[in-house]
Chains A and B, each alone.
Chain A
């Protein structure tokens, strides 16, 4: 049976697709669900089984593409997601996964959308009035319109924030509502999000991606844009900022950091709006004002767009163990020197108990009915409601009124009789902390599963932001689709996929607002306003990138030499391999390994150790470890790196996973993998050289690179050259060192001879023109350090500046002939000493850069508290 209605002309798509000509429609088999979900409303199909009008174009186009092409578009989409680094962190696994996005958008008619928009606006206005009352007169409680227990015992009700107000009328700035279409096709509100609503950034990313994958369909469908929402957001933030005392107000996005599940979104929205993305430790409160720690100075902050849950935001007044906030923040909001949105206090509205009272509140405040009902909710603090819930436990979803650790929602139908009794007993101890809600038989939407398009339950998150005296609602939103049929809970943490949401305009929409604004030019952000944390991450990004590169090159050299040995090239090759393996241990500081008493055993069976040095993510010094640390540093400074960097970071992540999975087996495979890692690292180098502005951040990154490249090379030379072996072995060894030092070609061209210590040192240590020599690194390092904003040192040069200059001078006059001379035992004591000093000085420079720039703060700890009394 084809579901295509007669009006959808096949002729339009015939030329594009063979699939439809063959009659195998993508929508064959798309039909009503069986079982529990039988007979629910579907977004695509009307009750009579025909395709709804507003879906016909999309169905025609998708059918025209056919399954193979749709699969290809999905692959393209996934690649774009990887390239842009669109990720979502799974809390239980602690790792970032690709954002799951279904290429087929959800279509919503403009008339239906108008109803949703009005309802979401009404609800935002209503919740705003509740918020104003709860942190003001609390008249609603005195009058019995809201029960005291549902508010005072909610973890989001912050007594510390009582009577603190935003400088605008609305006290609820951002609002998001999770909506579901029930089985009869009516939208209901499933949940209110007011703490720090997430998802708008993902909705934007979804739009950017899907509109690229279906450019024609997108253009022809006249889809309402989501960008105006972000302009309203920016205008709203600027409106809040207008009330500040600053002439040029500063707005920042506060994130818990790259460990957060939605950290991608924080950086994405920050970059889109043009606001710095900061962590709590980047900010400080001084004289009751919030400041951004920029290198060497403090810049006042006027508005904070908060993505950290309130309880973590101020260790002085809220959780004393939080390292994600800044002490004094609430005091600053109290004095009105900074505005935090959403207000710290707004979490109290993220409270399912409110749903039971909103109809009465709508009458009380607005004299209206709720335009969109909430899912049926019984607050168990009311004895009648609790007995209803108790009697129907198995048919309801039970939710605590506030998010407490571990408990979100409990589906009665999933529990055994004994478990239901336990739950009832648990609720009975504190009934006011629970609500019961009906299980919504969710309507379905067409979802692409990879092999077919099938109906699946979905939930739609809509977004609103304060505008004028009301709210602006995003035209569209974040649709999340159940991972399988019959799923009741739909969330990203439980494997839901997302969809772009297309609100179809009834008439063509004209872009009326543009990114470039008229009016006076705003001042560019000062390029040096880099936070110490960002500077530190860039510095370590450079260092780990270089550490990874050095390890890769040496591992490759080891593999090459092993092949020689295997081919039976005699004792010299074996001796050189042995020295090379020892140098690998020494350079990566991963001893004992191939050094010390166990060296013979390790040398006899080197495979396990070599595998570990390449693959072991958890072992400091290994290639995988350095790559992991490099990627983490990159994540933390996402807003500082160019977009192209994410192309490389994405593939690096894939390589790392392959490495970590231990799939480095045979030498050939290892070589190939190492070469690929090296390619990515080189690409990263190239981006740093060609795509990054030479600002303070770049100099920190480059300084990190230079320190590390010089250190790694010095360590390699120290491990290989300070002791002379027989000529044949040394000759092979030096060749490997030159390969690992990426200077073999130059060496052969220049010296046309067997490798010798003196000339090798000339090229790898003293040559000012070899971009791989130690001297070259030190010279660049001195330049980087001169360009750093630096800590104030009373006009005297900083320690790192002095050390870099000294080092540079020392290398200019280095005597390689003297250094390559051996004593009677074949030792090169002077070389050993020089390289040892060099490494120590490079570390000292690194430490000094850290001390003078990264504002090494002492650890934050709570003040010991005296007992309330000892009487």
Chain B
């Protein structure tokens, strides 16, 4: 069992005052069978006049806040302590089933599991099963291939075929944009993997969270160098959801902390909002620190 303390700080600086601001944050980690959120808070400065928490459609924790004091700087800090079980990385036995045998029941399954499967089979704005994704996935999903073998192959191809480049895409980029530029960030890679899953008929979802970074041997870990992360998950109806990280080409294990999931990024945007301001320029600074604690 590993215990992590996560600090995720977002700071906005506006070029002219903001008279009011409404926001929503998907920053509080959910508890899962192999992950327990021991405590988590979202602290906002200046202090909001109204702040509350709810659970969304997907079971994620959402913070709502409303600031009524005029400000030029907004800071949102999420701090949480999370325990992750070591068994998290273990792959289910059905991993060796041919992917077609996993796919076929998904479209017809009855009951809550079927409802869930069919929900995550559908296109979503950020991860539609576009033809380019279908074509790309085909190489990995060859007839009879064991399902997680195929998914793992897809992740490593994404990892190999696309450059990591924080400036290549933004939050509005599409799957087609990603193929045009052949570069992006974890969010884009996760979207692509989810699109490919949906294209071949497997339910896929988008997961946001954190990954502990390990410093190069012999060097101390610096505070604040971590980042928020995103990966994908595939539903195997007989075994449940299996998470895979195309950015790092690996299945998700106990180095990962899950915050929230949805159909794509738009369902679990870490921080979004509406502000009232003339500001023409907003600068945004994000720091994340994931550290092991005892």
Contacts and interface: CB of A to CB of B under 8 A. Distances in A.
Interface of A: 138, 141-144, 147-149, 152-153, 159-160, 162, 285-288, 315-317, 320, 327-328, 331, 334-335, 430, 857-871
Contact of A864 (B12, B58, B123, B229): B12
A868 B277 contact: no
Contacts of B66: 285-288, 328
B24 interface: yes
A152 B119 contact: yes
B274 A858 contact: no
B178 interface: no
A608 B208 CA distance: 65
Contact of B247 (A138, A141, A144, A871): A871
Contacts of A871: 185-186, 211, 213, 227-229, 247-248
Contact of A142 (B110, B166, B276, B277): B110
Interface stretch (B15-23, B36-44, B94-102, B152-160): B15-23
Contacts of B91: none
Contacts of B273: 316, 327, 862-863
Interchain residue pairs A-B with the least CB separation, the first 3: A868-B187, A863-B273, A148-B118
A863 B20 CA distance: 11
Nearest to A153: B122
B274 A327 contact: yes
Contacts of B190: 868
Interface of B: 10, 12, 18-19, 21-24, 49-50, 52, 54, 56-58, 64, 66, 68, 110-112, 114-115, 118-119, 122-123, 166, 169-171, 185-187, 190, 208, 211, 213, 227-230, 247-248, 265, 267-279, 282, 284, 286
Contacts of A867: 166, 169-171, 185, 187
A328 B272 contact: no
A334 B62 CA distance: 13
Contacts of A316: 22-24, 272-274
Given A286-B49, A864-B282, A159 B115 contact: no
B81 to A, nearest CB: 21
Contacts of A861: 274-277, 279
Given A142-B115, A860-B274, A871-B213, 16 more contacts: A142-B114, A162-B57, A327-B274, A859-B276, A862-B272, A863-B12, A863-B23, A863-B275, A864-B284, A866-B284, A867-B170, A868-B208, A868-B265, A869-B186, A871-B247, A871-B248
B63 to A, nearest CB: 11
A861 B21 CA distance: 10
Nearest to A147: B118
A857 B229 CA distance: 37
A144 to B, nearest CB: 5
A626 B17 CA distance: 34
Central interface residue in A141, A147, A320, by most chain B CB within 10 Å = A141
B19 A858 contact: yes
A320 B230 contact: no
Contact residues of A: prevailing secondary structure: loop
A149 B22 contact: no
A390 to B, nearest CB: 19
Taking each of B66, B229, B248, B278, which has the highest tally of chain A beta carbons within 10 Å of its own beta carbon?
A: B66
Contact of A859 (B115, B122, B278): B278
A171 to B, nearest CB: 17
Given A153-B122, A863-B271, A870 B166 contact: yes
Nearest to B209: A869
Contacts of B57: 159-160, 162
B208 A869 contact: yes
A865 B76 CA distance: 13
Nearest to B74: A863
Contacts of A317: 24
A285 B185 contact: no
A777 B248 CA distance: 75
Nearest to A862: B274
A148 B119 contact: yes
A760 B169 CA distance: 70
Contacts of B277: 858-859, 861
Contact of A149 (B24, B49, B122, B286): B122
A285 B275 contact: no
A159 B114 CA distance: 18
Q: Which of A153, A870, A871 is packed against the most chain B CB atoms within 10 Å?
A: A871
Nearest to A287: B50
B230 A868 contact: yes
A868 B211 CA distance: 13
A331 B63 CA distance: 11
A870 B187 CA distance: 8
A869 B118 contact: no
Best-surrounded residue of B24, B111, B270 (most CB of chain A within 10 A): B24
Contact of A141 (B52, B115, B270): B115
A594 B148 CA distance: 80
Given A288-B50, A331-B64, A865 B208 contact: no
A54 B122 CA distance: 53
Nearest to B172: A865
A335 B171 CA distance: 30
Nearest to A141: B115
Given A153-B122, A159-B56, A866-B10, A860 B276 contact: yes
A868 B228 contact: yes
7 contacts: A152-B122, A286-B66, A286-B68, A863-B12, A863-B271, A865-B272, A869-B186
A868 B171 CA distance: 8
Contacts of B275: 860-863
Contacts of A148: 114-115, 118-119, 122
B272 A858 contact: no
Given A316-B24, A317-B24, A863-B272, A144 B227 contact: no
B274 A320 contact: yes
B210 to A, nearest CB: 9
A320 B270 CA distance: 15
Nearest to B49: A287
Nearest to B231: A869
Contacts of A149: 118, 122
Contacts of A430: 123
A381 to B, nearest CB: 10
B115 A868 contact: no
B171 A863 contact: no
A864 B64 CA distance: 17
B256 to A, nearest CB: 11
A863 B274 contact: yes
Contacts of A327: 22, 273-274
A315 B274 contact: yes
A657 B265 CA distance: 50
Nearest to B268: A868
A396 B230 CA distance: 45
Nearest to B17: A858
A700 B64 CA distance: 38
Contacts of B49: 286-287
A338 B24 CA distance: 20
Contacts of A863: 12, 21, 23, 271-275, 282
